[in-house]
Amino acid sequence: MENTTAPEKAFFILNPKSGVRSSVSVPDLISAHLDTTRWVPEIVLTERAGHATELAQRAATEGARLVVAIGGDGTVNEVARGLKDTNSALGILPKGSGNGLARHLGIPLNLPHALGLLNQPSFHRIDSCAINGHPFFCTAGIGFDGLVSSVFAQSTKRGLSSYIQLVVREFRNFKAEATTVSINGRELSSEFFVVAFANASQYGNNAYIAPMANIQDGLMDVCLIRHVGVAEAIQLGYGLMTKQIAHSNLAEFHTCATVSVQSEAPQYFHADGEYMGQAKDFTVQMFPKSLEVVASL
């Protein structure tokens, strides 16, 4: 059926450094596959860290109905930060190595197919969260998660195989710290290997830290993993890739809208896989239905 309404503005934010290098020109793909009777596109390239957030805020202020992040999880996070609590919807053209939020939202990893989803958009409102004020839309984590994110941030290699090599290398030297998690009126203390906060079900690459997570229920899923040895780590890795971690005796799950964590020593932490620094005290909050997205939910 022909679209009889006037086309609306779509703002595309492209991180030229995201993901695996490709000879495919994203602007050419947009020109070839975007329905210009539905959208009037404008494409802007990011120039530095944080620039995508500024561009998204500007696009929302100017009334863009759709703001599309072209890149990996870091780019998606930056764009989504700029669109929280606005009337502009987030679209995603996944071009990263993990693509966690895109996968959870049912967005095709094939870019022409992802553009097809934008041509016939289905709009949904999803939750977002923040860890110590840093917004995240997929997952955040403290402990081994955070350490890996800090090392990965310094690495020039991307992709699943590089990530797995890094995880194996860092696991040998990681020491879990004494930590107390205050959740739903209870205090849980242990030397936690990982304290993960899941708004969506996976980290990326179909590694499911919380397979049951619902991105629209106003609750985050908190996954607690106590100190593990080599055999348990292998079991956890298998559980992540097969969605079986929720049935493992190595992981403990809770749902909540807010949680606080206190550690005896500073711990690394991440938001959507991006290293955020170190801290001893953490507050994680949920913001229900705070972001509109184009998705296949």
Residues of the chain with CATH 2.60.200.40: 134-287
Residues of the chain with CATH 3.40.50.10330: 8-121
Give the confidence band of 4 by pLDDT, cuts at 50, 70, 90: low
Token pair listed for 83:
């669109």
Tell me: the pLDDT tens digits for 124-159?
999 999 999 999 999 999 999 998 888 877 776 666
Please give the pLDDT value at position 157: 67
Strand pairing report for 89-94 and 123-131: unpaired
Q: What phi, psi does 243 have (nearest 5°)?
A: 65, 20
Q: Looking at residues 215-228, what average pLDDT do you find? A: 94
Q: For the chain, give the mean pLDDT.
A: 92
Kindly indicate whether the domain formed by 134-287 is annotated with CATH number 2.60.200.40: yes
Please give the pLDDT value at position 150: 84
**pLDDT higher at 160 or 171:** 171
Give the confidence band of 20 by pLDDT, cuts at 50, 70, 90: low
In 3D space, the residue among 76, 67, 113 whose CA is nearest the CA of residue 199 turns out to be 76
Residue 249, number of CB atoms within 10 A of its CB: 7
- How many CA atoms within 13 Å lie on the side-chain side of 176? 16
Contact status, residue 151 vs residue 164, Cβ threshold 8 Å = no
∠ Cα 61 62 65 (to 5°): 95
Percent of the chain exceeding pLDDT 90 equals 74
Give the confidence band of 246 by pLDDT, cuts at 50, 70, 90: confident
Kindly indicate whether the domain formed by 8-121 is annotated with CATH number 3.40.50.10330: yes
DSSP 8-state secondary structure symbol assigned to residue 210: -
Indicate the pTM of the whole model: 0.92
In 3D space, the residue among 104, 132, 70, 74 whose CA is nearest the CA of residue 216 turns out to be 104
Cβ-based neighbours of 254, under 8 Å, separated by 6 or more? 183, 184, 221, 222, 224
Contact status, residue 40 vs residue 9, Cβ threshold 8 Å = yes
Cα end-to-end distance, the chain, whole Å: 23
AA identity, residue 229: G
Kindly provide the residue ranges of all beta strands, DSSP E only, lying in 184-257, ordered along the sequence.
186-198, 220-226, 251-256
Residue 211, number of CB atoms within 10 A of its CB: 18
Please give the pLDDT value at position 1: 45
d(CA 187, CA 138): 25
Tell me: the pLDDT tens digits for 271-290?
999 999 999 999 999 999 99
Confidence check: pLDDT of 161 > 90: no
Give the confidence band of 52 by pLDDT, cuts at 50, 70, 90: very high
Contact status, residue 261 vs residue 177, Cβ threshold 8 Å = no
